[in-house]
Structure 1
């Protein structure tokens, strides 16, 4: 339920005002730029950590499945680079891993700083704390594919249970609309949890769960809508990136998708920031 007596229209107006005032559109472009340089170091680290507990093939499949959900335009590009990474992985030493970790957290540092701007009175962290927050964001993101794999494994094991019977009208629950919707909502749920954590812990100010949840709901739903629309746009043939950019077309499409995702993430942050503002003003 929406927090009692909070002015919905004023919250919407303040969200748009702070979103424009902090130049979130330009910030999203900056995040996309840093993400391009952080993406493959991030993947290399995930592969390095993943192959310490899983086989190479399992790790690659896991990362590709996760990439298809988070970066719908870049699966082929990522797969090609992962194959090269696996061929060169033995040359990655301790100092190289530290350098990769530094590069991989660059985008999270920029993202955290711009999320923090959505809350009035939130001070920017110093250099060391900013990098620490970025590092925690990296490990959280790296854990999501593992959780996704666990949920997928759970769903694959559930059909072994005998749930046919009168309760379901003689129809297996696995053939029902409810089951189909549940499988579709699992990826959305993980995205929602990720956004909820971003808006709850990244700002350098106290944020209540009830304030963070509204931005997370809007951002997770908006992100799924944006992913569907962007995927349709690319498949429709309306975009001609290959004709204009040639072999760089996939990279351009990837940057555009990261840019759109960043806009959605920052908008959700400003919505939660507006809810926080009016709740504090009310008290």
Structure 2
């Protein structure tokens, strides 16, 4: 009886999966996510130093986050930058230190570059959702500035919470061996999942249902962890970049990693959008058709 019920559900689910899969692949081809990822990767590398500088500057203005900078650096470079994390961190800290010594005009130009990254992410995701970023200019600038100012505070809060969870995991490790290590491994994945869900729900200039964003966030998180493991394995076992570029190998490695990360982000966005369209299409077909009156 259970097998017959499973077979019945599978027969109903198969055509839905086929429709969703074709829609998802069609959208990925039409939106050229590989090209968009390359553009975002280029803009990200230009905006990385300004964004980090703004983040640390805002954090330093709040005494509660005075000790967060080191924890934030350790958390990001040890969990989200596979291999060469120490080298990238050393260069980034040096670049941020040099940028902080610039004058007011130089710092303002760096802020404009950081805003350019947010603008490009906004336009790319709205293009995926087939919506226009037709917000008034003042409203758009207010949103971008809110991201610049409130983003570091949210990041600092998340790092503080992560440190608290790390303490709990260490405490649990003493009484339940293995549990603390398992929790520590889940913290970066949970942080990435939460970031993906917020991105897919807040950025598009239309309403995105939470369950669709969760689906896209789960796909992006799994793809991100798999990509991170595969990228680390490739760079470790096939050190072609170090042989060709030598000391400058960190530059193409970082660019390639940022590019792959944006591919994952856009894949999750396409999945979220395709999920909503597929369900809307299914509801439309399930509605009874009206018979015209004679």
TM-score normalised by L of structure 1: 0.82
Relative to structure 1, the CA distance from residue 132 to residue 227 in structure 2 (aligned partners, 3 Å threshold; closer, same or farther) is: farther
Relative to structure 1, the CA distance from residue 158 to residue 242 in structure 2 (aligned partners, 3 Å threshold; closer, same or farther) is: closer
Q: Partner residue of 2:253?
A: 253
Among 109, 122, 128, the alignment partner of 2:119 is 109
| Distance of 1:253 and 1:109 partners within structure 2 | 25
Q: Partner residue of 2:161?
A: 150
Shift of 1:52: 2.6
SS in structure 2 at match of 1:117: helix
For structure 2, the 5+ residue unaligned runs are: 1-11, 285-294
Relative to structure 1, the CA distance from residue 92 to residue 46 in structure 2 (aligned partners, 3 Å threshold; closer, same or farther) is: farther
Shift of 1:114: 1.5
Relative to structure 1, the CA distance from residue 135 to residue 214 in structure 2 (aligned partners, 3 Å threshold; closer, same or farther) is: farther
The alignment's C-alpha RMSD in Å is 2.9
2:87 is the counterpart of 1:86: no
SS in structure 1 at match of 2:242: helix
Q: Partner residue of 2:43?
A: 34
Q: Partner residue of 2:269?
A: 269
Shift of 1:198: 1.0
2:244 is the counterpart of 1:234: no
Q: Partner residue of 1:167?
A: none
| Distance of 2:25 and 2:146 partners within structure 1 | 29
Shift of 1:50: 2.4
Query: Contact 2:71/2:159 (CA < 8 Å) preserved in 1?
Result: no
Q: Partner residue of 1:217?
A: 218
Aligned 1:177-216 pairs, distance under 5 A: 178-216=179-217
For structure 1, the 5+ residue unaligned runs are: 165-170
Query: Contact 2:200/2:213 (CA < 8 Å) preserved in 1?
Result: yes
Query: Contact 1:109/1:134 (CA < 8 Å) preserved in 2?
Result: yes
Relative to structure 1, the CA distance from residue 130 to residue 29 in structure 2 (aligned partners, 3 Å threshold; closer, same or farther) is: farther
The answer to which structure, 1 or 2, has the higher relative contact order (CA under 8 A, 6+ apart) is: 1
Relative to structure 1, the CA distance from residue 25 to residue 84 in structure 2 (aligned partners, 3 Å threshold; closer, same or farther) is: closer
| Distance of 2:21 and 2:146 partners within structure 1 | 31
Shift of 1:57: 7.1
Query: Contact 1:215/1:271 (CA < 8 Å) preserved in 2?
Result: yes
Query: Contact 2:50/2:96 (CA < 8 Å) preserved in 1?
Result: no
| Distance of 1:191 and 1:141 partners within structure 2 | 15
Shift of 1:133: 4.5
Shift of 1:131: 4.7
2:260 is the counterpart of 1:243: no
Structure holding more helix per residue: 2
Query: Contact 1:119/1:203 (CA < 8 Å) preserved in 2?
Result: yes
SS in structure 2 at match of 1:7: helix
Query: Contact 1:74/1:250 (CA < 8 Å) preserved in 2?
Result: no
SS in structure 1 at match of 2:100: helix
Relative to structure 1, the CA distance from residue 194 to residue 137 in structure 2 (aligned partners, 3 Å threshold; closer, same or farther) is: farther
Q: Which has the greater radius of gyration?
A: 2
Among 39, 50, 53, the alignment partner of 2:62 is 53
Query: Contact 1:63/1:145 (CA < 8 Å) preserved in 2?
Result: no
Shift of 1:246: 3.6
Count of residues in Structure 1 that have an aligned counterpart in Structure 2 = 267
